[in-house]
Amino acid sequence: MKISVFLDDFRLGPDGYVWVKDIDACFKLLVDFQIDHLSLDHDLVSKTRNGLMLVHLMVEHQLFADRITVHSANSVAGKAMFNYLKQAQLDNRMPHSIKLIHRPLPLF
């Protein structure tokens, strides 16, 4: 059984999603479960352990979901996360079959 995960320290995840507030909890889910959809924020409570750090860890450890959405309202950091994942696909460090989506959500 696959799960869907929503990483955000402020906004609640959609119904049916496992809501996590930090990258350590999200990384553990990536290790322990198959994930259908992973939706990622950049700005979290920890200013140093953010969404960009998580996508670097995902590529380094080859841990992915079938679909990955970057939903960060931080336009610069959200684009950096999306572009890093897209470049990882182009460099064959991430499967081309993974669907990447950049869809910023409002703060409220």
Residue 20 belongs to domain with CATH number:
3.40.50
Rg (CA), the chain: 12
In a domain, 108, yes or no: no
In a domain, 91, yes or no: yes
In a domain, 96, yes or no: yes
Task: Look up the domain containing 34 and give its range.
Answer: 3-102
**Of residues 91 and 46, more confidently modeled:** 91
Indicate whether this model's pTM tops 0.85: yes
Total domains in the fold of the chain: 1
Mean pLDDT for 66-87 is: 97
In a domain, 107, yes or no: no
Highest mean pLDDT among 9-13, 43-47, 79-83: 79-83
Q: State CA 76 to chain mean position distance.
A: 15
**Nearest alpha-carbon partner for 49 in 66, 75, 25, 79:** 25
